[in-house]
Amino acid sequence: MMKMMTKKMSILALGICTVFGLAACNDSSQDQQSSIQPSDTRDQRFLNAKAGDVIEVEIADLIPTQGAIGYDQIYYKLGRWQGDWNRPTWQSDASSQLTYLNKTIGKKFSDYCETIGAKGRDDFTTLQQLKAATLSQINSFGCSEQPGTELADLKTVVVGYDGRLYLTDGHHTMTQLRELPDGGASLKVWVRVVENDSNLKTADAFWNKMVTDGRVWLRNGQNQPILYTQLPQNLGLKSVSNPNGMEESQHRSLMYFLRDIGYSKPEKATDFLEFLWQDWFENQAKLGLVKPLSFYHLDPKQYAVSDVLASTTLNKDLTLSGSATSYTAAVANYAVLMGTTSPQTLIYQNYTAADLGALALVKNADKGSVTANALSTFDELNRNEVKKDGTPRTGGSLWYAINYRSCGKPASGTCWGW
């Protein structure tokens, strides 16, 4: 009888707890629940990284902080770095063939070594060495130093509110490496941390700080303002296979080819310097002081390669002759505009032309002067890879870019011309 009463009382107590949800009925389970802390959803790999730290990562770990890049700058490197193993030009001359391949494919490995702070590397001495080299295996080519040695050469990142790495310098370099067959999103690179903002609790707080610090460029490829939520989600050219990649900025491509012709990047340049000129350029075009980029024949998908690469001469008196619509005509006109503008002219906010690296171009300058050197650099933009004596040389950056955009990877029997 007593056992039956005890059992009935237990059942009654359970029913009361069920109906009324009395706290006292479940003290032990609530104590367990209150001791469980919410999980940390941040990327844990980089949370302890400090400013100045050098870390090894994959390109896929790097998040863009600008909306667009200059595709022609990417195409220049993709055209030069790949070369043509079967090019017939120097097949009968082993020495010239190796020189050509060192200037193209071999340059890829030297540039990669520099990017990861390992200084560079010497030329390959045999074709067998060069053929065995691949970016995915650093020991297959070797660098002059250990990765991360040359701190000034490293691209920079900020650790974000979510523990992820936000790239503040090197969008073009990392995209070039990502687009290579032996590169890709999983390629190892070394970067330098400039700040850890993982203590910030929200995306808004983080991006507001990035704007204040000048470490983000919230414009798209058409120079229109965007929100941080509209930034590309990963590096690489935007395409069907990479829909979250970076948009194209034609202006940014122009700025690359203007380097050392209309301006030179200052030693301590502000981030996103090349983008800061765009509003001013567009205003000058509206004033009729320079033609808008739409006037020029820049795209070999719309115009013949011979038209895009038509010869334009920038004369000593800073006048132009030859094609008025070629890519080099655009470079020449914008270079003269930059180089003859007063150094104290405000270009962007408080930045003057001098602050943003504008060269001082003068008419009929002496040999060895800044102007003479700029004209010499301009003359190299369109040159091909063959010297007058038939031996190989480095082609012009614009020549590589336009041919790659038009033809793809250098190969015999394509529109590259061999």
CATH of the domain at 85: 3.90.1530.10
Instruction: Determine the average pLDDT of the residues in 168-186.
Output: 97
Please check whether residue 90 is in contact with residue 100, taking contact to mean a CB–CB distance below 8 angstroms.
yes
Rounded-to-integer distance, Cα 337 and Cα 323, Å: 18
Instruction: Determine the average pLDDT of the residues in 140-153.
Output: 97
Q: Is residue 3 part of a domain?
A: no
Rounded-to-integer distance, Cα 213 and Cα 270, Å: 11
Q: Which of 217, 233, 248 is the last residue of a domain?
A: 248
Of 262, 236, 166, the residue nearest 206 (C-alpha): 166
Q: Looking at 123-132, 266-275, 294-303, which range is the least confident one?
A: 266-275
Please check whether residue 326 is in contact with residue 308, taking contact to mean a CB–CB distance below 8 angstroms.
yes
Interior CA angle at 41 toward 39 and 42, to 5°? 130
Q: Is residue 5 part of a domain?
A: no
Indicate whether 276 pLDDT > 70. yes
Please tell me whether residue 188 adopts helix, strand or coil conformation: strand
Same domain, residue pair 214 and 228: yes
Buried b (16+ CB within 10 A) or exposed e, 301-316: eebebeebbbebebee
What is the total count of domains within the chain? 2
Rounded-to-integer distance, Cα 107 and Cα 202, Å: 42
Q: Is residue 241 part of a domain?
A: yes
Give the type of residue at 228. Answer: Y
Q: How confident is the model at residue 23 (pLDDT cuts 50, 70, 90)?
A: very low
3-state DSSP percent of the chain in helix, strand and coil, to 5 = 40, 10, 45
Indicate whether 319 pLDDT > 90. yes
Cβ neighbours, 10 Å, residue 286: 10
Instruction: Determine the average pLDDT of the residues in 9-17.
Output: 40
Indicate whether 327 pLDDT > 70. yes
Q: Is residue 22 part of a domain?
A: no
Same domain, residue pair 214 and 80: yes
Same domain, residue pair 235 and 287: no
Same domain, residue pair 345 and 330: yes
Indicate whether 34 pLDDT > 60. no
Same domain, residue pair 232 and 258: no
Same domain, residue pair 83 and 159: yes
Rg of the chain over Cα atoms, rounded to whole angstroms, equals 29
Residue 362: give the domain boundaries.
250-408
Q: What is the mean pLDDT of the chain?
A: 92
Instruction: Render pLDDT for 240-260 as a digit per residue (tens, 0 to 9).
Output: 999 999 999 999 999 999 999
Query: CB within 8 A of 202, min separation 6: which ones?
Result: 161
Indicate whether 33 pLDDT > 90. no
Residue 153 pLDDT: 97
Of 153, 296, 271, the residue nearest 211 (C-alpha): 271
Rounded-to-integer distance, Cα 25 and Cα 28, Å: 9
Residue 1 pLDDT: 41
250-258 vs 327-339: helix crossing angle, rounded to 10: 70
Q: Which of 198, 214, 248 is the last residue of a domain?
A: 248
Indicate whether 6 pLDDT > 70. no
Q: Is residue 28 part of a domain?
A: no
Same domain, residue pair 281 and 183: no
Q: What is the pTM of this model?
A: 0.89
Q: How confident is the model at residue 339 (pLDDT cuts 50, 70, 90)?
A: very high
Query: CB within 8 A of 87, min separation 6: which ones?
Result: 97, 100, 410, 412, 418
Q: How far, CA to CA in Å, does 218 sit from each of 66, 162, 224, 341? A: 6, 20, 8, 27
User: Partners of 237 in the beta sheet?
Assistant: 246
In total, the chain counts a number of residues equal to 418
Q: Is residue 31 part of a domain?
A: no
Residue 18 pLDDT: 41
Same domain, residue pair 145 and 101: yes
Q: Is residue 332 part of a domain?
A: yes
Residue 39 pLDDT: 87
Q: How confident is the model at residue 229 (pLDDT cuts 50, 70, 90)?
A: very high
Query: Hey, CA dihedral for 190, 192, 198, 200, is it positive or negative?
Result: negative
Instruction: Determine the average pLDDT of the residues in 58-83.
Output: 98
Indicate whether 131 pLDDT > 90. yes
Instruction: Render pLDDT for 156-169 as a digit per residue (tens, 0 to 9).
Output: 999 999 999 999 99
Indicate whether 302 pLDDT > 90. yes
Both tokens of residue 379?
């003359």
Q: Is residue 27 part of a domain?
A: no
Same domain, residue pair 49 and 144: yes
Same domain, residue pair 118 and 57: yes
Indicate whether 37 pLDDT > 80. no
Instruction: Render pLDDT for 72-93 as a digit per residue (tens, 0 to 9).
Output: 999 999 999 999 999 999 999 9
Same domain, residue pair 160 and 135: yes
**Interstrand relation of 312-314 and 155-159 (parallel, antiparallel or unpaired):** unpaired
Q: Looking at 27-31, 46-50, 251-255, 395-399, which range is the least confident one?
A: 27-31
Query: CB within 8 A of 402, min separation 6: which ones?
Result: 72, 75, 300, 305, 308, 309, 327
Instruction: Determine the average pLDDT of the residues in 318-342.
Output: 98
Rounded-to-integer distance, Cα 125 and Cα 81, Å: 18
Q: How far, CA to CA in Å, does 99 sit from each of 96, 132, 249, 394? A: 5, 17, 34, 10
Q: How confident is the model at residue 376 (pLDDT cuts 50, 70, 90)?
A: very high
Q: Which of 248, 268, 294 is the last residue of a domain?
A: 248
* Positions of E strands within 148-229: 155-159, 165-167, 188-196
Give the type of residue at 9. Answer: M
DSSP-H helix ranges across 86-170: 94-103, 105-115, 127-132
Indicate whether 26 pLDDT > 60. no
Instruction: Determine the average pLDDT of the residues in 127-155.
Output: 97
Same domain, residue pair 254 and 244: no
